[in-house]
Amino acid sequence: MNRWAGAAILGGGAAALYLGVVTGAVNVDLGVGRRVRPLGPLSVDIEASRELVFDVLAEPYLGRQTRVVAEKITVLERGNDMVLAAHRTPVHGGLTAVTVETVRFTPPGRVDFRLVRGPVPHVVEQFLLEEQESGCELSYIGELGTDGWALGAAWGNVVAQRWEAVVAATFTAVKAEAERRARR
């Protein structure tokens, strides 16, 4: 094999690995060089009761899904207060990242997420709901971990930026829907 063929094979393998990691098909969990970084905090004030906001958050997992939601979230296993769900998120270049997470519900104040499979080996997140005079504050905190020392940490920063953008978009949608229901 000449060096051009070797370089092509190596380049093709690197591209396949990249696509696998980005889409969540390949989970790189080496267990060495773990770096953990915070996610959030994010928060939004919602003019609706804490119970109503909780219901809006839980509905895609515990209730009936609309067709639009079903294109983004597939509940793989459902229990009384916890589900195992696959989430599909568009990423650059027409790719779709698929993460699998456990989602635990503690009404009316908390929703916990734990990554099972995705583009990084470790994510733990919480949505917290606090009653306020004008309604509810929905807040988000979490942590994201990667392996591979500095290279993994750089990848984690790329993933975290997109992850937090998805949470912010979710907050916008939850706020709109909860306030719409509260006005009824």
| pLDDT per residue as tens digits for the range 106-136 | 999 999 999 999 999 999 999 999 999 999 9
Percent of the chain residues topping a pLDDT of 90: 76
CA distance 112 to 101: 10
- Residue 137 scores a pLDDT above 80: yes
pLDDT for the residue numbered 17: 66
d(CA 184, CA 179): 9
What's the mean pLDDT in 38-57?
Answer: 98
Write the CA distances from 101 to 46, 89, 97, 118, 156, integer angstroms: 26, 13, 13, 9, 17
- pLDDT greater than 90 at residue 22: no
What would the pLDDT profile of 55-89 be if each residue is shown by its tens digit?
A: 999 999 999 888 989 999 999 999 999 999 999 99
pLDDT tens-digit map of 145-182: 999 999 999 999 999 999 999 999 999 999 999 999 99
Q: Supply the pLDDT for residue 25.
A: 74
Sheet containing 73-78, strands listed edge to edge, beginning at the edge strand earlier in sequence: 35-46, 135-146, 122-132, 110-117, 96-106, 82-90, 73-78
Domain 3-183 has CATH 3.40.50.2000: no
As a residue count, the chain comes to 184
CA distances (Å), origin 62, targets 3, 57, 125: 55, 9, 18
Pairing of strands 35-46, 110-117: unpaired
Greater pLDDT, 91 or 127 = 127
Give the per-residue pLDDT at 156. Answer: 96
What is the structure's pLDDT at 10? Answer: 65
- In the predicted model, is pLDDT for residue 37 greater than 90? yes
Q: How confident is residue 8, by pLDDT bands cut at 50, 70 and 90?
A: low
**Residue 112, phi then psi, degrees to nearest 5:** -110, 140
Give me the residue spans of the domains in the chain: 3-183
- Residue 100 has a CB neighbour count (10 Å cut-off) of 16
Q: CA 64 to CA 62: how far, in whole Å?
A: 7
Query: Per-residue confidence at 23, pLDDT binned at 50, 70, 90?
Result: confident
